[in-house]
Structure 1
Amino acid sequence: MALFDLPLDQLRGYRSTAPEPQDFDSFWAKTLQEARAHRLDAVFEAVETGLSAVRVYDVTFAGFGGHPVKGWLTLPAGASGPLPVVVEFIGYGGGRGLPHTHLLWAATGRAHFVMDTRGQGSGWSPGDTPDPVGSAPAFPGFMTRGVEAPESYYYRRVFTDAVRAVEAARAHPLTDPARTAAVGGSQGGAIAIAVGGLVPDLAAVAPDVPFLCDFPRAVTITDRDPYREIGNYLKSHRGRTAQVLRTLSYFDGVHFAARGRAPALFSTALEDQTCPPSTVFAAFNAWAHDDKTIEVYDFNDHEGGGPFQEAAKVRWLASRL
C-alpha cells in the first residue's frame, strides 16, 4: 500500500478538531469513583509454567462494576526488592494468551503485568475474561457495542478495567508503584493512552500504532476494520451519526492525551490503514507532557516497527524506569 495520508511534514503539525465533551473529566471521575466503590481484591496465584527464569502469577482483580478481570504478572526469578512494573494492554480481538508469550519485560529485570481484555480473546490470542454487560444491537466486533450512549459504551468498561489493572499491578509487594509504565500496541496503545490520561502518576507511557484516536477523521479516512465497523453500523442505523460521534468523543485518545502527565514514546507507520498516521499524530501532538517522542516507520503498515520498536522501547525505558 502506497502512502495515503498526509505528508510527513504536515503530519508533524497536524491537530485534531474533534470536539471534547464539556463533562469529559467529570464523566471519567464518576466512572472511576463507581469502580472504586468495589474492593480491588487483587489475587495473585502462582502457576507452574516450566519457565525457570521467571515466576508467573495468575491474577484476578475487580474491574468495572466489580466484574472479575484476569491478568498475568511475570517477575524475574529470585527478585526480592521492589521492581519497576510495565503494565501492558492487548491489541484488538486478543486476550492475555499464555505466560510464555510475555517474556520481554521480565527479561529486562522488571515486573510485567498484562491485562486480559474483557469479552475478547477468541481471535489471535486466547482470553479468559467475559464481559457480563449486554448491549443494544451492534455490528459484529466491539466498536459499536453500547455506542448509543457513553454510559453504555464498551470501552468505558475496558478503560476502567485498565486503570484498575494498574492498581492491581501496584498492589503486589514486589512492584514499585512509583516506577510504573503503561504500554501496548493498536487497541493496547489506545488503552495505554487512556490510562496515561486517567492515572496522574505514571513514570512512562509507550503506545504503538494506537487505535481509537481522532474518531471523526479515522472513520472517514480508512475503510479497514475495526474503524469500518462504525460505518457499517451507521449504514443500517441511519441518522445516528451525531449521536455516535458524541459517544465516541468520551473515548477519543486525543482527549486523554491532552491530560497525559508522563513522558511518552509513540510510534506510527506511514502505510498504516488500520490506524492512519494522522490519527496517531493527533494524539501525539495533543500529549501534554513535554518529554515526548514519536518513532516513524516509513514503509510499514499496521505491524509498525515490530521488534525494532520493542528494542526502541527497551532503550527508552532504561532511563525512565
Structure 2
Amino acid sequence: MLKNIRTREQMIFYEEQIKEFENYKPELTKAMDFDQFWEETLKESTETPLQIEMKKIDYPISQIQAYSLVYKGFAGTPINAFYILPENQTDRLPCIITFHGYGGNKGSISNYMKWIIQGYAVLAVDCRGHGESAEDTHYSVGATGTWATQGILDKYEYYYRKIYMDCKRAVDVVFAREEIDKSRICLLGASLGGGISLAVAALDNRPTLVVADVPNMCNIELAVQQKFEGSLVSIENFMHRYPEKSKQVFETLSYFDNLNLAPKIKSKTRVSVAFRDLICPPQSIYGVYSHIVAEKSMIAYPFSGHDAPGIISHIDETIAYVKENL
C-alpha cells in the first residue's frame, strides 16, 4: 500500500513538473546581428561545391545497396557518410538523414535496416571530427580536449558553426540525388544529433520532418547551470579557467543556441526529453520547444535519463511516427 501511495505522489509531482515546464518560455538571447550572421554563413557555405564521391560497399545483406559517400562540408572539409538504399527501388524514395551523438559515429550499416526495409533511403553522417570525417584543427582558442570549446571566443571560428553547416549540406546532398523524393525528407538524431536536427531545420526549410531526441545546444545559459555531465561541462570548465571570458563565451554560444534558432523551424517536429537527463536538462529543451511555431509534439520520460532514446518502446514509437508522417 505504501508503495502505491509513493507511486501516486511521484506521478503527481511529475505531472506538476510537466505543467511547469510546458509554461516555461524564456526570452531569446539573440544578438542584433543574429540573422545577418546566419545569412552570411549560409552564403559562404554555398561557395564550396559538394563534390560528392560514392563507392559501393560489398555488404553481406544482399537486399540493400550501400555506399560510402564523401562530400565537401563547410570550407571544403571532407564529410563521410553511409548512403543506403533498398535493392530494387523503382519509385522515388523518402529519405532519412541521421546525425549521431557527441563522441559517437554513424555506426554499422545494419543499424539502419529498420528504415531500409520500409522503403526509405538513409544518409547517415559522420559529423566533423567524428568517425571517418576529417578533424578540423584550425582553431586559435579552446584546446581543452573537447570540440565544444574549439573556437568558442569567435562566432565565425566556433566548431558549431562548421558542424551545423556540414549537416545542412547533407540536405544539399540528398537534394542532388535523382532517386530521392524531395518532398519527404526527415532529419533524425539524439543528443548532439538531436540538436543538429533542430538547427539544420531552422537554417533549411526543405526537410519535411524532424525527430530530435534529448537534443543538446538548447537554452544554453540555463543548461550550463543545470547539467552534470557532457560537453557543457567542458564549456563551464573553460569559463572556470578563464572567468574574464565568460561574457564572450555566452555571446558566441547565443548564435548556436537552438533557443534562438527555434522560431525559424518550419518542419513538423517531434522532440523528446528525459527528466533524469544529466547531460541535456529537460527544462532547457522545453524552453526551446516553446519557441517552435511549426506543428510539433513532445514526448516526456519522467523516470529516464539521457539514454531514453534507446528504450524499446521509444524506438517502436519513433518508427510508427516516421511512418505516419513521412
TM over 0.5: yes
Could you tell me the TM-score, scaled by structure 2's length? 0.91
Paired with 2:290 and 2:319, the residues of 1 have a C-alpha distance of: 23
Matching residue of 2:79? 69
Matching residue of 1:7? 17
The 3-state SS of whatever aligns with 1:103 is helix
Q: Structure 1: where are the runs of 5+ without partners?
A: 122-126
Of Structure 1 and Structure 2, which has the larger fraction of its residues in helix?
Answer: 2
Letter in 2 for 1:213: C
Matching residue of 2:116? 106
Larger displacement relative to structure 2 (269-278 or 134-143) = 134-143
Matching residue of 1:124? none
The one of 157, 174, 183 equivalent to 1:178 is 183
Matching residue of 1:282? 287
The one of 213, 219, 222 equivalent to 1:214 is 219
Matching residue of 2:70? 60
The one of 256, 262, 271 equivalent to 1:266 is 271
The 3-state SS of whatever aligns with 1:71 is strand
Say yes or no: does 1:198 pair with 2:203.
yes
CA deviation map 1:213-264 (0-9, x unaligned):
0011011112322211111001111211110000000000112211110111
Paired with 1:200 and 1:161, the residues of 2 have a C-alpha distance of: 16
How many residue pairs get matched?
313
Say yes or no: does 1:299 pair with 2:315.
no
Paired with 1:168 and 1:57, the residues of 2 have a C-alpha distance of: 14
The 3-state SS of whatever aligns with 2:324 is coil
CA deviation map 1:271-294 (0-9, x unaligned):
1111010011111111120x2110
Say yes or no: does 1:39 pair with 2:49.
yes
Whether the 8 Å CA contact 2:142–2:152 is kept in 1: the answer is no
Could you tell me the TM-score, scaled by structure 1's length? 0.93
Paired with 1:315 and 1:99, the residues of 2 have a C-alpha distance of: 21
Whether the 8 Å CA contact 1:265–1:313 is kept in 2: the answer is no
Whether the 8 Å CA contact 2:139–2:157 is kept in 1: the answer is no
CA deviation map 1:71-119 (0-9, x unaligned):
1111111112210001111100012233223322212210111111111
Q: Quick one: percent identity of the two aligned structures?
A: 28
Q: Shift of the alpha carbon at 1:149?
A: 1.1
The one of 150, 153, 165 equivalent to 1:148 is 153
Q: For the aligned residues, what is the CA RMSD?
A: 1.7
CA deviation map 1:141-175 (0-9, x unaligned):
11111001110100100000011011112222211
Paired with 1:212 and 1:104, the residues of 2 have a C-alpha distance of: 28
Letter in 2 for 1:137: G
Whether the 8 Å CA contact 1:269–1:297 is kept in 2: the answer is yes
The 3-state SS of whatever aligns with 2:182 is strand
Paired with 1:79 and 1:130, the residues of 2 have a C-alpha distance of: 35
Distance 1:60 1:305, change over 3 A: closer
Q: Shift of the alpha carbon at 1:120?
A: 2.1
Larger Rg: 2
The 3-state SS of whatever aligns with 1:162 is helix
Paired with 1:77 and 1:228, the residues of 2 have a C-alpha distance of: 44
Q: Which runs of 4+ in 1 moved over 6 A?
A: none
